[in-house]
Chain A
């Protein structure tokens, strides 16, 4: 059953590439604007041989992961506090709600102004973008924690701090995981955006550099890798999520 579905997926992708290759060779689409799969594969081989491909994947992944971890950690901690403590909620929630709708990309010029070039502005932008959905899902999950879980735990003699990580955190985990998945998608978008605007490595940089030299084949290598990488990461995350909330 699983093998059958995998086979069908591969068949679908192969068919797509064959149709594209055929259309290119028949002169239906411009080889310069949309190079055929065979040219893209060639370019990928060449880039891989130079070690450029691996380096770019490494840097993009590293930046996305660093931003994801930082933004998620801050989002979960702040969400636990705003969800659980009315004073903190009153103080912080309006500010967060006003900042939350601002698209992450809009912060890029400011990030460069404040932190210059290098890794810090990228970490800032990605963390900020990840923070909002993770904060919101944590905040909502904590607020929606059934009061009976808390009461049952209190009647079993649990302490105030223990209550946080032994009851409130696991009770909100399904909601938090939903936010983390959104955060992951945002981290992916923002790492490319940040690399397109100013970087000397990463898949975004590969695309923008290849654009300057009109190497559309290399640009497509970058795009294809982003697609494959994104699908793999999302698959891995859904496995992780199922393990994290195995009871749900």
Chain B
């Protein structure tokens, strides 16, 4: 790592287990580094511990051993430097779209006028004009997840963590969301860690793909995405796409029991 630029996010020898009966060893000695502006996809079969890695980075679970560093500083508790997007959106149902996006901005932007201007700009970025005063349950799944992404990105976190964010959406919406995400995070110099079990999704979203083994999750292979940014669903039409996907699938196939 000596020659590469300093990582925005670094995970060092992370191991996680859960105190159930029998004890579940979820993650085994995972290390990876994410550069500023880079998106890393954690790819692997269900239950391989990829979400646990993400939750440890977020500070929601305490690892048995290992460290998480943001800009070289170790972190353990949750904090605003690491934004999170959940599969089930987790929007606050008692707040409107605007208030949800505003939630993390109170301390960062104390002036009300400036804060609301920022909220409006994010509503425009995720194309939700006209829905400012709607409540989450009035929105479709794709719209809710756009609010959740705007809510997480608005405070400009150093690290954006996404836990299968499009897993609950239909296939068409999912592709549109992947493309929108691609353009949103390309403006940022933060690090993105994106958890998915979908190879197509990983190849659109990820600059780097980290393939994890079945439980206890280890890093099996790290692949640079051969398709350059900006990526869209058009990569599926590329003649290299089939072979690349097939190679990744072969690695994962051996891990599916």
Contacts and interface: CB of A to CB of B under 8 A. Distances in A.
Partners in one complex: yes
B155 A167 contact: no
A173 B95 CA distance: 13
A230 interface: no
Interface in B46-102: 58-60, 77-80, 82-84, 86, 88, 90-95
A152 B94 contact: no
From DSSP, what is the main secondary structure of chain B's interface residues? Answer: loop
B137 interface: yes
Given A155-B82, A157-B104, A173 B90 contact: no
Contacts of B84: 151-152, 155
Interface of A: 146, 148-149, 151-158, 167, 170-171, 173, 245, 247-248
21 contacts: A146-B90, A148-B86, A149-B92, A151-B60, A152-B84, A152-B151, A155-B79, A155-B83, A155-B104, A155-B152, A155-B157, A156-B83, A156-B103, A157-B108, A158-B103, A158-B104, A170-B92, A170-B94, A247-B94, A247-B135, A247-B136
A49 B210 CA distance: 85
Contacts of B77: 154
B238 interface: no
Given A148-B86, A170-B94, A247-B94, A155 B135 contact: no
B107 interface: yes
B137 A247 contact: yes
B59 A157 contact: no
Given A152-B86, A247-B135, A247-B137, A157 B94 contact: no
Nearest to A244: B94
Interface string B216-245: 000000000000000000000000000000
Contacts of B136: 247
B94 A156 contact: no
A167 B136 CA distance: 15
Interface of B: 58-60, 77-80, 82-84, 86, 88, 90-95, 103-104, 107-108, 135-137, 151-152, 155, 157, 161
Contacts of B82: 155
Contact of B90 (A152, A157, A245, A248): A152
A155 B92 contact: no
B94 A154 contact: no
Contacts of A151: 58, 60, 78, 84, 86, 90
Contact of A155 (B80, B95, B137): B80
A25 B176 CA distance: 78
A-B pairs, top 5 by smallest CB distance, nearest first, are A157-B80, A156-B104, A154-B78, A148-B90, A155-B84
Most buried by A among B59, B84, B108: B84
Given A148-B86, A247-B137, A155 B94 contact: no
Given A148-B90, A157-B104, 19 more contacts: A146-B90, A149-B92, A152-B84, A152-B86, A153-B92, A154-B59, A154-B78, A155-B58, A155-B79, A155-B84, A155-B161, A156-B80, A156-B83, A156-B155, A157-B155, A158-B104, A170-B92, A170-B94, A247-B93
A103 to B, nearest CB: 35
A93 to B, nearest CB: 23
Contacts of B157: 155
B252 to A, nearest CB: 27
Contacts of A170: 92, 94
Nearest to A170: B94
B151 A156 contact: yes
B166 to A, nearest CB: 16
Contacts of A248: 93
Nearest to A157: B80
A153 B103 contact: yes
A232 B44 CA distance: 60
A146 B89 CA distance: 12
A151 B79 CA distance: 10
Nearest to B102: A156
A88 B144 CA distance: 36
Contacts of B90: 146, 148-149, 151-152
Nearest to B161: A155
